[in-house]
Structure 1
Amino acid sequence: MLRRKPTRLELKLDDIEEFESVRKELEEAAAIGALGTEHKSREQLINDRIGYKPQPKAGGRTAHFGTFEF
């Protein structure tokens, strides 16, 4: 297999300015999100992102064996 020479990428002033503006917007959005009243754990954030809603497990014997009546 033939190897290509590395491609040269040039960074222009417009690209740098666009990068800086996008980075500022993201930092402002993160600051606004951090000031929210809800403080969720990492696990809760992941569950919200993927749409998983864990159901609490019921305690007692019926949780393990169902509802058998004799």
Structure 2
Amino acid sequence: MLRRKPTRLELKLDDIEEFEGARKELESRKKQREEVDVVGASDGDGALGLNTDHKSREQMIHDRIGYKPQPKANNRSSQFGNFEF
């Protein structure tokens, strides 16, 4: 394995500005979510709101990892393939 000399990384003003912009955008999204959560909880549908939020979060995770769940059939032929007894 070849070993190379360490590369020097320099922090530039553009990098700092880009980081600050991304951080502000993330904070504004977080505030919007908190406002929506506060409004949703005050409507009296808190439990229902949490359940749908959980489903959407679960769906987002499935989309991110590429998981597409298929419903399972509960009959005998689906459990043992196409074999007949």
What is the TM-score when the length of structure 1 is the normalising length?
A: 0.55
Distance 1:8 1:47, change over 3 A: same
Question: Which residue does the alignment assign to 2:7?
Answer: 7
Distance in 1, matches of 2:33 and 2:27, equals: 10
Q: Which residue number corresponds to residue 29 of structure 1?
A: 29
If you compute each CA radius of gyration, which structure gives the higher value, 1 or 2? 1
- Following superposition, the deviation at residue 22 of structure 1 comes to 1.1
Corresponding residue to 1:48 among 25, 44, 59: 59
CA distance in 2 between partners of 1:30 and 1:19 (Å)? 16
Runs of 5+ consecutive residues of structure 2 not aligned to the other structure: 41-48, 77-85
Corresponding letter in the other structure for 1:27: E
* Distance across 1 between alignment mates of 2:59 and 2:16: 34
**Shift, 1:18, TM fit:** 1.4
Q: Normalising by structure 2, report the TM-score.
A: 0.48
Shift of 1:34: 2.1
Query: What one-letter code is carried by the residue in structure 1 that aligns with 2:58?
Result: N
Q: For 2:31 and 2:24, how far apart are their aligned partners in 1?
A: 10
